């Protein structure tokens, strides 16, 4: 096993800081989520470290709570996408035949629609609750996971040990969970990071458009939307959440890169 590089370590540390901040939001945030504590857009001071937002709420507190919402929603959507995507992908590879054909063509079709557009169409008739958002984002993203896990599983199903399991008379479920899953896991974990970043960007975009997390709850995309009018007056409140999104995305990316290099060196591919 290779030692993680400096960049990977930085990525890991920053990612864990974000996760810790999300978990301990209640302890860390100096003020409440929707508590109005000062005037609109006060500059940063010892009282309000990042200043206040468009209606006088403490920006730092909102950023911390917003991070919790963003990370939670993105993580849940990624979980939905991996559960559906990988199980269906593995099953399609193992079962093959018309089951595989129908699923694959359907996924091709959904992938020929920009995910944001499809999400807009669905959200125009669905209530915008957190659960709906998670499920819609997760299912839309599961098409990508399906493709990857099917491709990986197709390679694995021709292995001798899968053949042996079939000859032993094991069922599809057993083969998927006991033979395919352990062998595909390392690649999937590397992909996990990338899908998570995509989910963060997706929920932030939806909230920025006003169609994601609804006020007074906060997430980073929503905070940008609330504060972007202040930019004209030189108030950079809207910049904070965008920086947070970018930093989180880059640090998760660094970790995912490392995971990807590790798995491919295990398989004798491009090593790190």
Partner 1 sequence: MLSLIAKRLGIGLITVLAVSIIIFLGTKILPGDAAELRLGQSASAENLAVLRERLGLDKPYWQQYLSWLVNFVQGDMGNSLSGDTPISGLIADRYQNTLIVSGLTALIGVPISVALGVMAAMFPGSTYDRVLTFTSVTLVAAPEFFTATLLVLFFVLFLGMGSTIVSGSTDGMGLFELIQHFALPITTLCFVIASQLIRMSRAAVLNVMASPYIEMAILKGIPRRRIILRHALLNAIGPIVNVIALNLAYLITGVIVVEIYFSYQGLATLIVQGVQTRDFVLVQSLGMIFCATYVVIMLIADIAAILANPRQRHPK
Q: Which residues bind partner 1 (CB under 8 A)?
A: 109-110, 112-118, 120-126, 197, 201, 204-205, 208-211, 221, 224, 228-229, 231-232, 234, 236, 238-239, 242-243, 245-246, 249-250, 253
Q: Closest Cα to residue 115, out of 86, 137, 130, 83? A: 137
Smallest gap from Cβ 257 to partner 1, in A, equals 10
Residue 13 or 120: which CB sits closer to partner 1?
120
249 φ, ψ to 5°? -60, -45
The number of CA neighbours under 13 Å toward the Cβ of 169 is 0
Residue 246 or 266: which CB sits closer to partner 1?
246
Decide: helix, strand or coil at residue 52.
strand
Residue 114 or 171: which CB sits closer to partner 1?
114
Smallest gap from Cβ 116 to partner 1, in A, equals 5
Name the CA radius of gyration of the chain, rounded.
22
Q: Closest Cα to residue 126, out of 208, 212, 200? A: 212
Smallest gap from Cβ 36 to partner 1, in A, equals 24
Smallest gap from Cβ 199 to partner 1, in A, equals 12
Q: Closest Cα to residue 63, out of 28, 16, 15? A: 28
Residue 136 or 152: which CB sits closer to partner 1?
136
């Amino acid at each position: 096993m290779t030692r993680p590089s400096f960049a990977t370590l930085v990525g890991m540390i920053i990612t864990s800081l974000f996760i810790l901040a999300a978990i301990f939001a209640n302890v860390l945030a100096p003020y409440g989520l929707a508590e109005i504590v000062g005037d609109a857009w006060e500059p940063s001071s010892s009282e309000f470290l990042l200043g206040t937002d468009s209606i006088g709420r403490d920006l730092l507190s909102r950023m911390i709570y917003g991070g919790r919402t963003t990370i939670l929603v993105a993580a849940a959507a990624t979980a939905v996408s991996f559960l559906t995507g990988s199980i269906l992908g593995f099953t399609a590879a193992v079962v093959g035949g018309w089951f595989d054909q129908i699923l694959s063509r359907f996924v091709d079709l959904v992938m020929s629609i920009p995910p944001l557009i499809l999400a807009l169409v669905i959200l125009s008739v669905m209530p915008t609750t957190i659960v709906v958002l998670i499920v819609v984002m997760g299912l839309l993203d599961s098409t990508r996971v399906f493709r990857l896990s099917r491709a990986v599983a197709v390679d694995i199903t021709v292995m001798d040990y899968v053949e042996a399991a079939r000859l032993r008379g094991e069922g599809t479920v057993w083969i998927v969970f006991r033979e395919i899953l352990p062998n595909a896991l390392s690649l999937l974990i590397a992909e996990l990071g990338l899908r998570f970043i995509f989910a963060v960007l997706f929920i932030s975009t939806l909230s920025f458009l006003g169609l994601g997390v609804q006020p007074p709850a906060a997430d980073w995309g929503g905070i940008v939307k609330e504060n972007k009018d202040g930019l004209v007056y030189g108030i950079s409140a809207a910049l904070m959440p965008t920086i947070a999104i970018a930093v989180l995305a880059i640090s998760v990316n660094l970790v995912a890169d490392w995971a990807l290099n590790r798995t491919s060196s295990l398989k004798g591919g491009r090593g790190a």
